[in-house]
Amino acid sequence: MDIDELYYSAIDLLTELIKTPSVSRDESAAADIVARFLDENGACVERRGNNVWSIANGYDQMKPTLLLNSHIDTVKPVEGWTRDPFGAEVDEQQRLYGLGSNDAGASLVSLAVAYLHLSRLERSYNLIFLASCEEEVSGKNGIESALQQMPPIDVAIVGEPTDMQPAVAEKGLMVLDGVIRGKSGHAARNEGDNAIYKAMAVVQRLKDLTFEKESATLGPVKISVTQIEAGTQHNVVPDCCKIVVDVRTTDAYSNEQTLALIRQAVPECELTPRSTRLNPSSIPVDHPIVQRLVMTGAQPFGSPTLSDQALMSWPSVKVGPGSSSRSHTANEYICLAEIRTAIEIYIKILTGLNL
């Protein structure tokens, strides 16, 4: 297939996906579409739940393995759409509108057709394409579930809207539930130990907290207190104050190390992580894939947004068509030309690649 055929196949696939609602945890119909597309184009198809993947012919366990991954799920439509979120309309500027068109349908279909092309070529590496589910909610039935059925991965390209600029590092995420305890008493008398006042000191310390090491690409760890709850009625000194802390971690520390440092800074606050599984990720700038992207004129950067990279224990680069600023917005769109360019770049950097 030449570039024109690949491009039109990608547009047809994306149009069908946009017209098929696939909110996180309800992606079965979209998974059916991707599986059928791969099968009709001669690819071997495997599936677990709503995850669909294909391993290119000629797999050799002695060779390194490259994973091409993007997700099929979307968020729910936000308020403010003036077009049908599932209409897949194309305007006079050749913009394709629809929920998931930018995040991350365009990346998904561009990687899918690039995979079909590359799977028919001689390669020095194994190649796997994975369309994963539950990315938008970091669900455990998503990529983690699929990876349990796959051979070991050495490196990955994750398709997300980055304007085809390589994100060589990505922040991780921890959400912490904190409890600060005091002693109740009557508000009219000088009794009790006000948990709110104690929490104020904790919040200030978290606001000002910095760590010794800082990521070269992602900057400092970002700590934000985003919720607070205390008190039962106006005349009772509260004996408990609860806070929620959003922590954006970097490759300077593991999530567990970051948690230990935060606990050390606020010992009077009982901190419980909801999860430590969404880790920061990175890939060396001198990695062959990154260097080939740089040769196309791309500029490596560090990404503050989360993707399925957080669940990968190997090097990965996030790169795809579209702009992150369009994600999760009303009248989301992708420019058709961005898809053609993405297909060309994916094929260019991966043809003849030595890992």
Six token digits for residue 174: 């921890």
Report the pLDDT value the prediction gives residue 241, as an integer from 0 to 100: 97
CA torsion sign for 337, 119, 159, 154 is: negative
| CB 195, CB 354: distance < 8 Å | no
| CB 217, CB 168: distance < 8 Å | yes
For residues 31 and 37, what is the distance between their CA atoms, to the nearest angstrom? 10
- Tokens 């990720």 sit at which residue? 281
Report the pLDDT value the prediction gives residue 200, as an integer from 0 to 100: 97
Residues of the chain with pLDDT under 70: none
CA torsion sign for 289, 295, 298, 300 is: positive
| CB 27, CB 72: distance < 8 Å | yes
* Residues 312-350 as b or e (16 or more Cβ within 10 Å = b): beebbbbbbbbebebbbeebbbbbbebbbbbbbbbbebb
Q: Give the pLDDT confidence of 179-205 residue by residue, as tens digits.
A: 999 999 988 888 899 999 999 999 999
| CB 128, CB 156: distance < 8 Å | no
Q: What is the DSSP letter of 311?
A: G
- Tokens 């992150």 sit at which residue? 324
Q: Give the pLDDT confidence of 248-304 residue by residue, as tens digits.
A: 999 999 999 999 999 999 999 999 999 999 999 999 999 999 999 999 999 999 998
Task: List, in order of start, the domains of the chain with CATH numbers.
Answer: 3-170+281-350 (3.40.630.10), 172-273 (3.30.70.360)
Report the pLDDT value the prediction gives residue 190, as an integer from 0 to 100: 80
**What pTM, to 2 d.p., does this model score?**
0.90
Rounded to the nearest integer, the mean pLDDT of the chain is 96
Provide the β-strand partners of residue 172.
Answer: 249
Q: What is the DSSP letter of 20?
A: S
Provide the β-strand partners of residue 227.
Answer: 244
| CB 95, CB 72: distance < 8 Å | no
End-to-end Cα spacing for the chain:
25
| CB 278, CB 144: distance < 8 Å | no
Identity (one letter) of the amino acid at 197? Y
